[in-house]
Amino acid sequence: MAFFPIFVELKNCLVVGGGKVASRKIDQLSEYAKKITVVSPKISEEIRTLKNSQNDSEQTCQIQIFERFFEENDVEGMSLVIAATNDSDCNKKVASACRKMHIPVNVVDIPELCDFYFPALVRRGELVVGIGTGGKSPAFARNVRKSVEDFLPLNAGEKLEKAAKIREELLAKGKSPANDAAYNEAIKL
């Protein structure tokens, strides 16, 4: 059965792991999450750089690092959790803690422990397209993403903002956007 795509607000995310794979996940999440907590006894320089660049910029995502082993209560209050360690016992412990708390978890490269998969993403401002393969082939998703990137105009995010403004103005006047010529023109790619 296919996975259902869903777009959610990410308030607090936990990434367990401090290496290259964790760094990639943190980088992806930092565009969408308000806060990312990283727990690992060893933290890569890439993650430290991400933390400093996010925390020193105008970005809304804050990255917090705890250099220690994972503890079950680390998952409390999280929107979602990523286990990206090379320790299978730790990954299983993370997945188990999340299941007890009904928190979605992704254990990198272990589909049977995942509640969700990372999609391949195309982003143009607030316009986000996610491509999923149910964890079957990330490379296939990347190829589809490339096709979508080639198709989607670079200014699609700007066009979305223009359409949103027209829609808001029409709704404020009690009019239907569906029947408005300017709105219908604005939503065209």
The domain in which residue 109 lies consists of 10-117
Separation CA 125–CA 70 (nearest Å): 35
Give, rounded to a whole angstrom, the gap between the first and last alpha carbons of the chain. Answer: 32
Question: For residue 128, how many other CB atoms are within 10 A of its CB?
Answer: 14
Residue 35 lies in a domain: yes
Residue 178 has pLDDT above 60, yes or no: yes
Q: Which residues contact 95 (CB under 8 A, 6 or more apart)?
A: 83, 105, 107, 113
pLDDT at 57: 55
Share the mean pLDDT of the chain: 92
Based on C-alpha coordinates, what's the Rg of the chain? 19
Per-residue pLDDT tens for 115-148? 998 899 999 999 999 999 988 888 999 999 999 9
Q: Residue 43: inside a domain, yes or no?
A: yes
Residue 81 belongs to some domain of the structure: yes
Residue 55 confidence (pLDDT) above 70: no
In a domain, 112, yes or no: yes
Q: Which of 94, 117, 140 is the last residue of a domain?
A: 117
Strands (E) in 103-182, as ranges, are 105-107, 120-124, 127-131
- Which of 67, 86, 117 is the last residue before a domain boundary? 117
| % pLDDT > 70, the chain | 97
Helix (H) or strand (E) segment spanning residue 167: helix 156-172
Distances (CA, A) of 172 to 44, 158, 179, 182, 186: 50, 21, 15, 16, 18
CATH number at 105 reads 3.40.50.720
